[in-house]
């Protein structure tokens, strides 16, 4: 099966979201931010023909460059993960973008936010204007 050919035939890019899961004894699932495991799955996504890869953040954002390198030129979008505070989210996003992530795909950190539009403004400023976490946070609640 050639996933890329199937998607290309319809003019649609193929996005692959390889998830690294760990056991969660309280039910549900938990994301595992182990860089080695993420890199392996990102490499497999590339080999399957992904046009875009949506990957977990690594526990240590300073090593996310390894994930980007494993994608070998395929854009890597970072998953948002669990709900965290504004400062933590913006700081982590800044560090991941600095490591070469092409973009972000965040859900609950926007949807469940008290000011979703403000959080989107802050993240867009970081993505497209190079805003720092300190300047971006001022866009929330503005």
List, for residues 64-119, the tens digit of each pLDDT value.
Answer: 999 999 999 999 999 987 889 999 999 999 999 999 999 999 999 999 999 999 99
The pLDDT value recorded for residue 20 is: 85
Domain locations along the chain: 3-79
To the query of whether residue 54 is one of the catalytic residues in this protein, the response is: yes
Rg for the chain, CA atoms, rounded? 16
pTM of the model: 0.86
Rounded Cα distance, 75 and 85, in Å: 26
Residue 47: Cβ-neighbour burial (10 angstroms; 0-12, 13-18, 19+): exposed
Question: Active-site residue among 46, 54, 92, 113?
Answer: 54
- pLDDT interval class at 24 (50, 70, 90): confident
Q: Is the pLDDT of residue 12 over 90?
A: no
Question: Exposed (0-12), middle (13-18) or buried (19+): which is 63, by Cβ within 10 Å?
Answer: middle
Query: What's the confidence (pLDDT) of residue 81?
Result: 79
Q: What is the pLDDT of residue 58?
A: 93
């Amino acid at each position: 099966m050639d996933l890329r050919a199937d998607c290309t035939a319809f003019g649609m890019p193929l996005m692959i979201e390889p998830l690294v899961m760990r056991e969660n004894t309280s039910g549900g699932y938990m994301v595992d931010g182990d860089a080695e495991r993420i890199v392996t799955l990102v490499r497999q996504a590339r080999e399957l023909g992904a046009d875009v890869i949506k990957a977990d953040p690594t526990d240590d954002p300073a090593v996310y460059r390894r994930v980007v390198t494993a994608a070998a030129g395929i854009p890597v979008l970072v998953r948002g993960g669990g709900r965290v505070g504004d400062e933590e989210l913006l700081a982590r996003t800044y560090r991941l973008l600095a490591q070469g992530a092409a973009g972000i795909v965040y859900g609950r950190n926007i949807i469940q936010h008290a000011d979703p539009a403000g959080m989107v403004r802050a993240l867009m400023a970081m993505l497209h204007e190079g805003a720092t976490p300190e300047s971006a946070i001022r866009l929330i609640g503005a």
